[in-house]
Amino acid sequence: METRRITVLSAGLGVPSSSRLLADQLAASAERQLRAAGYQATIDIVELRDLAVDIANNFVTGYAAPRLADVIAGVENSDAIIAVSPVFSASYSGLFKSFIDVLDPKSLEGKAVLLGATGGTDRHQMVLDYALRPLFSYLRTRIAATGIFAGPQDWGNTDDGGSPLSARVDRAAGELVQLLSGPQPHRKNDALESLPFEQLLAGISAGR
């Protein structure tokens, strides 16, 4: 069974965080639908607020602390990213952008991406198309058509005259799964496996 690796980036600042709640729902739906499609799913959830100091120090020193370096490596080795940011000043948060800035831009090329955002009013929902989507388009990622914005009315209320959050989450996660089906572009090759000497010798003998 093939494995699809997903890194979930949550830029929420509070505890609990609505961004983390949305990220968890998107990750759970993606994992469920990947398994239904015949894939093994590995999900790694990253709370960016826990890396805030390391991210700031990286800008000053040019070096990533071990914890930040591990997260960067995880992002680079992922097949997909679920990125969720709260809205500040009609855009993604500074913490979220700062983390993206410490990545090698080429490391995201070809990765499948699902976008999410949270805010205190529906007036902020255009951040998906006017801020997040252009950012990840610039990074040459493959972005799921449906992005998810969750406002206050989406938590614990499904009778708001629109689509319940769970239905929108499942739709967006399903689009991410479609992007993850089949061969993945620019996927890093797995580390070369060191074979036992006997197998190497057998291969050499068979080639004679």
pLDDT tens string 108-148: 999 999 999 999 877 778 899 999 999 999 999 999 999 99
In the structure encoding, which two tokens stand for residue 10, read together? Answer: 């949550």
> What would the two tokens of residue 183 be?
């061969």
Count Cβ atoms below 10 Å from residue 45 Cβ, excluding itself.
Answer: 14
pLDDT in tens, 152-206: 888 875 554 556 899 999 999 999 999 999 888 765 444 334 445 455 455 554 5
Identify residue 3 by its one-letter amino acid code. Answer: T
Distance between CA 152 and CA 18 in Å, rounded? 9
Question: What domains lie within the chain, and their CATH numbers?
Answer: 3-206 (3.40.50.360)
Which is nearest to 68 in space by CA: 92, 94, 49?
A: 49
Alpha carbon distance 68, 99 (integer Å): 9
Q: Is 65 helix (H, G, I), strand (E, B) or coil?
A: coil
Give the pTM: 0.85
